[in-house]
Amino acid sequence: MTLHVMLSLDLSDIDNQRYHFNAYLVEKEWEKLNEVDTVWHRTYSYSQSLDYVAADDVKATLEKAAIKFKPSSIEYVAQVGNAKPIKGAWVKTATGYQHRSR
C-alpha cells in the first residue's frame, strides 16, 4: 500500500534561497506540483495505519530545511492519505471557462 502526502508551504524571508530550498525538497523525494505555487507531493511505502511515520518525516524534513536555509518561518499544511492528489485547472477561454485535468 502507498501513502500520498500533499504539502503546501509558505516561506518567509527566503527569496534568495528559494531555488536551493526547492532543490533540497527534490533531494528528499518530493515532487513539486508545477501548476500550483508551493505545493509538493510525495509517496511513502506505508499503509494508512503508519501515517504518523510520514507526518513525522514531514516535520523532520522541514526542521532540517529551516536550520539549513534560515527562513523567518515555514508555515505548512500536509494531507496524508491513500489517494493521489487531484490536479486540475479552470482556464478562461473565448467561450467561458474550461476544465483541464493535469
Report the topology of domain 3-101.
Alpha-Beta Plaits (3.30.70)
Residue 81: the pLDDT is: 86
DSSP-derived 3-state class of residue 21? helix
Residue 10: the pLDDT is: 85
The Cα 38–Cα 71 span in angstroms is 15
Residue 24: the pLDDT is: 95
Q: Which residues of the chain have pLDDT under 70?
A: none
Q: What is the pTM of this model?
A: 0.77
Residue 3: the pLDDT is: 86
Residue 5: the pLDDT is: 92
Residue boundaries of the structural domains of the chain: 3-101
pLDDT tens readout for residues 25-50:
999 999 998 777 789 999 988 777 78
**What's the Cα-to-Cα distance from 20 to each of 24, 46, 61, 65, 75, rounded to whole Å?**
6, 28, 14, 10, 18
Alpha carbon 39 to chain centroid, angstroms: 4
